[in-house]
Structure 1
Amino acid sequence: MITYQQIFENNQRWAAEKSATVPGFFDRLAADQSPDYLYIGCSDSRVTAEDLMGVAPGEVFVHRNIANLVVNNDLNAQSVLEYAVRHLHVKHIVVCGHYGCGGVRYAMQAKDLGLLNPWLRNIRDVYRLHHVELDAIADLAARYDRLVELNVQEQCVNVIKSAVVQQHYLRHKLPLVHGWVFDLKTGLLKDLNLDFEHILRDIQQIYDLSGEVSSAGMKPPN
């Protein structure tokens, strides 16, 4: 394991190498940020956004929590979403889960996990929504992998439910929302190829926060 002191030694070496090989790197870094991507991922120490995306500092705005959840009453996640869309004008929002996610695994255990209970209940809710498909998967590992994917999908839906995403997309056709899963065993990303526009049209029957609503408060069905 790396020691506390080694972290600072590594930092000094990294800063010196950057200054020597990329002239003006820290001047540009300190000037401002204008990332095209908001990455919402898991807090797992093995899954770091910049490394798996192959991007440099300043190119991706990052929010991480246990099991990459986007919860409507989580002011942290919602503030990140608001800031990224309204002020940074990101073009893409990515929710990235990963196979072998501890949050997903613990959510499916019948045990009291204390403070984690209300947080992980969001994953249990995903299972409830998709239990027919999941219960039909006999292999437990494969079932958990599929739950990881479905959790990413539902968190993307939660992103699309937000007013700032709906309003900004209707005006600018951006940001687009994507669902990814990272495979720890191969190092590869899987794009779930979610149909963003179809999901948006579908949920706006109930979750329309665009400001373009009927007098009854919701758009009438098509």
Structure 2
Amino acid sequence: MPNSIKELQEGNINWVRNTLRMKPDFFERLSEGQHPKFLWIGCADSRVPATEITNALPGSIFVQRNIANMVVHTDSNLLSVVNYAVKVLKVKHIIVCGHYGCGGVKAAMSNEKLGFLDNWLMHIKDVYRTHEEELNNIKDDQKRFDRFVELNIIEQVGNLAKVSFVQEEWETGEFPYIHGWVYSLKDGLIHDLNVSMNSNDGLEKIFRFNPSNITA
């Protein structure tokens, strides 16, 4: 694990050399443009890099990361990424991937003051409030934590489905599909939570946009 800026720079040089050894035209082709089929909305945790844990090459996955892989409808950064992904890149799949042991989710379970971060954690606390009965009935602390991680991912999948321009894409085809995945730091495996969506059929009526009222 690198401990200095110099080590990161040297690591870059070694990576380029090794990549060119295996694929001499890799960077030339990469510079011609990106055509990813996937958008990854993940946690900012340094232990969960999208391409590494899926064994994917650079250019394969368009990525947006934040604390606890949240989809907040007032987050212009995230919405800009999603809009570009579905409208310009025409990604086929959007993956919301959280991970067990998420520090943001853990912090949201407590009443500890963390300063500015508390404003972001409020969105995660809202997920707990929504599922409070189920979570409070789980007596084992670790199991409750793990379930909260899963429920947070599921809620963010639903939040993505509520975005107007995502629903607009569904009016003209089956894509993008939205998936909810959870990653285990203990064994490195990704688990599908089986909550995939490619229509607004599962949403409450108030969140379903009328096609005639949706603008690009």
Structure 1 residues 186 and 45, CA, compared in 2 at 3 Å: closer, same or farther?
same
**Residues 1:108 and 2:109 are matched in the alignment:** yes
Unaligned segments of structure 2, at least 5 residues: none
- Equivalent in the alignment of 1:220: none
Where do 1:85-100 residues align within 5 Å?
A: 85-100=86-101
**Residues 1:146 and 2:147 are matched in the alignment:** yes
Once the two structures are superposed, residues 155-207 of structure 1 have per-residue CA deviations (whole angstroms, 9 ceiling, x without a partner) of 01110000111010221210000000000001000100015257x21325111
**Residues 1:14 and 2:18 are matched in the alignment:** no
Give 1:28's aligned amino acid. R
Structure 1 residues 81 and 49, CA, compared in 2 at 3 Å: closer, same or farther?
same
User: Which structure is higher in helix share?
Assistant: 1
Distance in 2 of aligned mates of 1:15 and 1:111:
44
Once the two structures are superposed, residues 43-68 of structure 1 have per-residue CA deviations (whole angstroms, 9 ceiling, x without a partner) of 00111100111110000000000000
Where do 1:181-200 residues align within 5 Å?
A: 181-197=182-198, 200=200
Once the two structures are superposed, residues 51-110 of structure 1 have per-residue CA deviations (whole angstroms, 9 ceiling, x without a partner) of 111110000000000000010000011100100000000000000000000000111111
- Equivalent in the alignment of 1:201: 201
Distance in 2 of aligned mates of 1:162 and 1:193:
20
Unaligned segments of structure 1, at least 5 residues: 218-222
8 A contact 1:40–1:68 mirrored in 2: yes
Where do 1:50-129 residues align within 5 Å?
A: 50-129=51-130
Larger mean Cα displacement after TM superposition, 48-57 or 16-25: 16-25
- Equivalent in the alignment of 1:34: 35
Q: Following TM superposition, by how much is the alpha carbon of 1:8 offset from its aligned partner in structure 2, in angstroms?
A: 0.8
Where do 1:128-139 residues align within 5 Å?
A: 128-139=129-140
Aligned length in residues: 213
Distance in 2 of aligned mates of 1:6 and 1:166:
45
Output the TM-score relative to the length of structure 2. 0.94
Deviation beyond 4 Å, 4+ runs, structure 1: none
Larger mean Cα displacement after TM superposition, 131-140 or 111-120: 111-120
Distance in 2 of aligned mates of 1:13 and 1:135:
50
Distance in 2 of aligned mates of 1:197 and 1:173:
6
Distance in 1 of aligned mates of 2:78 and 2:196:
23
Give 1:182's aligned amino acid. Y
Larger mean Cα displacement after TM superposition, 147-156 or 200-209: 200-209
Residue 39 of structure 1 aligns to a residue whose secondary structure is strand
Identity rate of aligned residues, in percent?
45
Distance in 1 of aligned mates of 2:17 and 2:192:
36
Residue 16 of structure 1 aligns to a residue whose secondary structure is helix
Distance in 2 of aligned mates of 1:142 and 1:169:
36
Q: Following TM superposition, by how much is the alpha carbon of 1:20 offset from its aligned partner in structure 2, in angstroms?
A: 2.2
Residue 59 of structure 2 aligns to a residue whose secondary structure is coil
